[in-house]
Amino acid sequence: MNRQSLIRSLILFTLSCTTVPSFASGPISGDTAPAIEPVSKVSFGDVLSLDVTHQPTLFRYGEAPSQFVELWQPEGIVRPPVVVFIHGGCWLAEYDLSHANAMASAFVDQGFAVWSIEYRRVGEPGGGWPNSLSDVEAAITAMEDFGEQLNLDRAVLSGHSAGGHLALLISAKANYSHRFKQVFGLAPISRLADYSMGTNSCQRATSLFMGGLPTDDAADYRAADPSQRELSANLTLILGADDAIVESSYSLLESVPSTSIPNAGHFDVLHPQTQTFRSFLAQVKEQLNDQ
């Protein structure tokens, strides 16, 4: 299958994910989650349809079109704590950081700033391994210039799916991981080589990201596979028990704490009205002492 056919099949796969009945859109607000029944197994389309009540400011850390971050800041809070976020999307250029906007906006409602990282992905010049990871490193380094605006001593790192894969690799780098009180892998692709041998569209995209299969370059896969790296002790995983895109067996790591949310799908953590997001929010608050 050529690259364009693979990308088309991925888009069709994503859009066909399970949907839920209509619900009131909008991120949570105030100090606690709204007293409504959480939704679950939301689709990519459900996440895209959510209202976004805040707007970010864009800052560049490089010259390429995708080398930028979006800074989401709450009003009236001096030097808020920071949630650094790396979006997923199978490392493909077709999926940018905007699908996590509702989640970022919900964190702003809770008094957090969000440093949402865009990076070069497969389908644009320079995208793929190892440059996608290098971009994330550069974006984290660029955050150091914002110490007057953000409380960098109260920061966590998080990443979803393919972005979770990159977040776990950052946690293996001592010069980066020490900057964060906690690293959260949200349905992360933790076992890259194993994942690349699967048959769903995102699994097949792994070889595009890596430039081949594990049999083509075992050394590159070892370097890019979180399960083969010594990861930060301050790492936890949050998974959906019914995730069909990154099944738990590809996320779980020995000796790494994890929370598995029953009846939750792959995109639930991006939706502020799900139990998965609420679990993520509660754990962020616990780490940053923001009860």
Burial class (CB in 10 A: 0-12, 13-18, 19+), 11: middle
For 144-174, write each residue's pLDDT tens digit: 999 999 999 999 999 999 999 999 999 999 8
Confidence check: pLDDT of 242 > 70: yes
Q: What does each C-alpha distance from 34 to 52, 113, 125 come to in angstroms? A: 16, 20, 43
What value, to the nearest 5°, has the Cα angle with vertex 134 and ends 164 and 144? 90
Question: Cis peptide leading into 130, omega within 30 of 0?
Answer: yes
Beta bridge mates, 83: 114, 156
**Phi and psi angles of residue 222, each rounded to the nearest 5 degrees, phi first:** -60, -40
Q: Which two tokens stand for residue 278?
A: 């609420």
Residue found by looking up tokens 């991925």 in the block: 10
For 66-76, write each residue's pLDDT tens digit: 999 999 999 99
Confidence check: pLDDT of 32 > 90: no
pLDDT in the model for residue 289: 77
pLDDT in the model for residue 55: 97
For 275-286, write each residue's pLDDT tens digit: 999 999 999 999
Looking at per-residue confidence, does 126 or 4 come out higher? 126
Instruction: Return the domain boundaries, the chain.
Output: 39-287
**Phi and psi angles of residue 166, each rounded to the nearest 5 degrees, phi first:** -70, -35
Fold of 39-287: Rossmann fold (3.40.50)
Confidence check: pLDDT of 21 > 70: no
Confidence check: pLDDT of 12 > 90: no
Q: What is the mean pLDDT of the chain?
A: 90
pLDDT in the model for residue 35: 59
Confidence check: pLDDT of 223 > 80: yes
Residue found by looking up tokens 């914002």 in the block: 146
pLDDT in the model for residue 4: 46
CA contacts within 13 A on the Cβ side of 218: 1
Query: What predicted TM-score, i.e. pTM, was given to this entire model?
Result: 0.88
Q: First-to-last CA distance in the chain?
A: 50
